[in-house]
Structure 1
C-alpha cells in the first residue's frame, strides 16, 4: 500500500513538472520570435510574439492593448523557431519600410535583430516573405 501511494505521488510530481512554464506579456522569456506589420494613415503597429512553449501574444500600438491568442502546440512552435533560425536574421541587414511595412525580429537574451520591408523599390528575400505568411497563418 505504501509503495502504491509513494509511486502515485512520484508520478503526480513528475507530471506536474512536465507542464511548460506560462508567461505573461510583462514577463517574457529571453528567447522570442516577433513579427508584425505597421504604418498606414494612423501609423498603427500590430506586433505578435511567439514563445518556445507555444504561447502567442498580440499588441496593438493604437489601443495599447495586449492579448494572449490561442497558443500553438509545442511541436508547431518548435518547428517555427527552427525555420526562424534558418533565416539567420542576425546575418541579414534589410531595413526598407514603406508607408505600410512588415517585420520579423529575433529576440534572444539581450540581442535583437530586425528585418523590415515594405518599400516598393526594395524586395526582401522570398524566404522572409514565405516565413512571414506562414506565421500569419498561425494567428487564429
Structure 2
C-alpha cells in the first residue's frame, strides 16, 4: 500500500513538472531566456524566465508553476535578447556546475540548450557572466 502511494506521488510530481514546461511554451511561444542559480546546502534551483514580450517569471522549485514577477520594457527586453542571441550556445561546451552554480538556457518552443558554471577554476567567457548579471538585476528587490 505504501509503495503504491509512493509510486503514485512520484508520477504525479513528474506529470506536473512536465506540464508546467508545456504550458509555458504555449502561453509564451517562441524564444525565452531561462537563467538562475542553484546548489548549496539545500541543492535548490531558482529559475527565472524572460519571454520576448517582457514578462519575467519565477520558479523556485520542482513541481512549482511559474509566476510572473516583473514586466520589462520592450527596449530593454529586445536589447537583452539581442545580446543573448549573439552568444552561440550550440558551440559552447560549458557544463561545469560547482556546489553553487549559475546557468543560462535558450528555450525555443519545446527545445532548449543550457550552459552552467560555478566549479572552481573553470573559465567562463566574460560576455556570459555580464549577461547573467544583467539578467539577475531584472529581479525585483524584496
TM over 0.5: yes
When the two structures are superposed, what TM-score results if normalisation uses the length of structure 2? 0.75
Instruction: Answer yes or no: is the 8 Å Cα contact 2:36–2:102 preserved in 1.
Output: yes
User: Which portions of structure 1, spanning 4 or more consecutive aligned residues, are displaced by more than 4 angstroms?
Assistant: 23-26
* Equivalent pair of 1:59/1:65 in contact (CA under 8 Å): yes
Whether 2:108 is the aligned partner of 1:122: answer no
| Count of aligned residue pairs for this structure pair | 118
Q: Which residue of structure 1 aligns with residue 8 of structure 2?
A: none
User: Which residue matches 1:43?
Assistant: 43
The equivalent residue for 2:19 is none
2:95 touches 2:115 (CA, 8 Å); kept in 1? yes
Q: Which runs of 5+ in 1 are unaligned?
A: 1-22
- 1:25 and 1:57 in contact (8 A); partners too: no
Which sections of structure 2, spanning at least 5 residues, go unmatched?
1-22
Give the RMSD, CA atoms, in angstroms: 2.0
Structure 1 residues 25 and 89, CA gap change in structure 2 (3 angstroms): closer
Alpha-carbon displacement from aligned partner over 1:82-108 (angstroms, at most 9, x marks no partner): 000011112211100000000000112
The structure richer in helix per residue is: 2
Q: TM-score, normalising length from structure 1?
A: 0.76
Residues 58 and 67 in structure 1, CA contact (< 8 A), matched pair in contact too: yes
